[in-house]
Amino acid sequence: MGRIKILNEGSGRKKVSVRFRDSDHFDSSHYIHKYYLSSEEREKLFPVDIIALQMCIESDDQISLWEGVIPAVLPDCTILYRDIGLVKHVDGDLVRCALLAILNYQNDLHAELTPEEVRAALNLNEWLREYEKTLLAKQLSIEEELRNCLRGNDPFMVDYEIELKIDFYLREDDSFCNNEDAHKHDWDSDSALMCCHKFISSREMKNPDYYDDFNDMCFRAHRNPVYQAQHCELFHELTEHCDVPHKHLIRIGIISAEFEVLYQNMVDIDLAGERIIAKQQDTWQGKLIDHG
């Protein structure tokens, strides 16, 4: 709720304030926008609008999506994007479409899984656990090479950053991929991209307790068997932060990993004299930064 503010407006129209850049977050609103709205609705709404409209409407005590009932007539809403200074007016019919999409998503999120869906989710979790170890080992290897460059007085480098990005894609035979409208007004311009996760820091990798259970739901007796298993961090991020329903994990067909290394340089300059004095910093003023 920290990024969404409900504002008072004198008329019957509801008003809510959000940050436009939050549309880039891979969370439930992003997922709903991609897979639960029609192409016409995606054209009129941004991902951040989904949860904003929900919060705006549910500020009325008489409306609750958890009860599974959406009134036939809903008020218009005004969305203020406070970080870019723009305003959007959403009519009640489109508000209702957004709430129906949220309701359908929540039904899938809490639906009972078929045996095939349970097996797919558990198999994915176990495979990701091993894949995660492979990726972390590779990242540590890259980091050691970069640290050696710093120790060897590389003429350019004073520091570095490593980013590991994991993308999850639908199977090629998924019905959504074969829908000719799937790509229209898709926020990512890639209808098959389910979610994107930027991976952990090397400090966490070196923690001996890192591979402990990431299943923080504490639902060992939950009727969903997936909650009865230990979860690796990637599986946790995929389902609890990117908000992909367990029911949909069977749809995953491709997982891609991409390392990006940033070689960083910094120069101190003095412009007070007749001529500029420039001196390259030496590994952040001579200190080898401990990334781990």
Structure confidence at residue 282 (pLDDT): 66
Alpha carbon distance 46, 30 (integer Å):
9
End-to-end CA distance of the chain: 33
User: Where do the structural domains in the chain lie, given as residue ranges?
Assistant: 5-109, 115-263
The tens digit of pLDDT for each residue in 54-79 reads 887 776 666 667 677 788 888 899 99
Whole-model pTM: value is: 0.80
Residues 98-152: tens digit of each pLDDT: 999 999 999 999 899 999 999 999 999 999 989 988 888 888 899 889 888 888 8
Tens digits of residue pLDDT in 170-187? 998 888 877 777 778 888
